[in-house]
Each structure stands twice: as C-alpha cells, then as structure tokens.
Amino acid sequence: MDTTASNQPKKPEIKGLHHAAYRCRNSEQTRAFYEDFLELPLAGALKITETKTGRQTEVLHTFYQLGDGSHLAFFEAPDQPFEFKSQHDFDLHIALEVDQKHLQHMLQKGKDHHMETRGPSDHGFIDSIYFRDPNGYVIELCAKKSGHDEHLKLGNKRARDLLDDWANRSA
C-alpha cells in the first residue's frame, strides 16, 4: 500500500461500496426479507432482457439501500442455472452495521418471527447476530464496540503481523 510523506498509509481511491450483488431464488421472497424484515427499502430494479452478447434472457436485478447510500442487490435469473448450496458462515456472509439498540431490536424481531436467530456473539470489537435469508445467505448484523476503530484502521501493524504469522505457519 502506498504511504504519504508522513509514512501514513494512503487512503484508498475507491470511494466505497456501490452495491454487492448475489443471485436469488425468488425476487419477491427476497424483497420480503430485505425490505419487510430487515427494513432496507427497495431503491431500484432493472429488468434485463438481452445479455451483452445478444442472447435473449429474463433477469430481474433489484437493489436495497443501506443507510450510507450503498446497496445490496440481487439477480433472479430463472433461465440460468445456479446452485444454491448451504454455506458455512466462514464461506460467505453479508455483515451489515447497526447500532446496539437496533441490534437488540432485530434480535427480538427475529425471535418474534420464529426465524433462526443466532447470537449475540462478542467478537471483541463488534457484537453480532445472524439470520439466513430466503436464499440461504448468512446475514450478520453487527454493532461496533469500544475499540472498534483501533481494531480496523489503516496501517494496522497487529493485523499485518497476524497475517504474516498465518502465512508463515507452514513454511
């Protein structure tokens, strides 16, 4: 990573996450989870009828807005095979930030809706709860704790040391 004259890491030029996109089985079931349950408003949709190679298709691309203006997006593409397989949290999960009050609200809401609801888990710098969306994706809601910004910061020597130790463990 580039550093400035003061030997501090240079802030990345990539401004932020516009959207992260995932396949979905059913756009309406996905909407019900993200809009009705998680309270993320449907902010856009795009029907795709032709691919860039000219192949006719029927795809719906939907966008759900987060508080910072970024989006979670989904593709329903019935004519294109996709294997939805059971994922372990370590394989794939979507982590969304909330405050502690909303974390507790969503924990209770999940239980009230008789959804599989796990947590809270104390990760030291965040507290987390977990759900599965209708597509099987693990959704983590996390709330920052004291020390969060020290744990995740540019130029984090501890993170670099842990990664280096990990990489060298079998050398």
Residues 34 and 19: beta-carbon distance below 8 Å = no
Backbone phi and psi for residue 51, each to the nearest 5 degrees, phi listed first: -80, 170
pLDDT reading at 3 higher than 70? no
> What pLDDT does 171 receive?
62
pLDDT category of residue 2 using cuts at 50, 70 and 90: low
pLDDT category of residue 4 using cuts at 50, 70 and 90: low
Residue with tokens 């099987």: 136
Mean pLDDT for 92-114 is: 96
Using a pLDDT cut of 90, give the percent of the chain over it.
Answer: 73
> What pLDDT does 80 receive?
87
Domain with CATH 3.10.180.10 in the chain: 17-79, 85-153
Cis peptide before 81 (omega within 30 of 0): no
pLDDT reading at 36 higher than 80? yes
CA dihedral 108, 30, 40, 103 (to 10 degrees): 20
> What pLDDT does 78 receive?
93
Q: Which of 60-69, 74-83, 151-160: highest mean pLDDT?
A: 60-69
CB neighbours of residue 101 within 10 Å? 9
> What pLDDT does 1 receive?
52
Return mean pLDDT, the chain. 91
| Strands, sheet with 71-76, edge to edge from the N-terminal-most edge strand | 19-23, 71-76, 56-65, 42-50
Q: pLDDT tens digits, residue range 69-90?
A: 999 999 999 988 898 888 777 8
Reported CATH class of domain 17-79: alpha beta
The CATH number of domain 85-153 is 3.10.180.10: yes
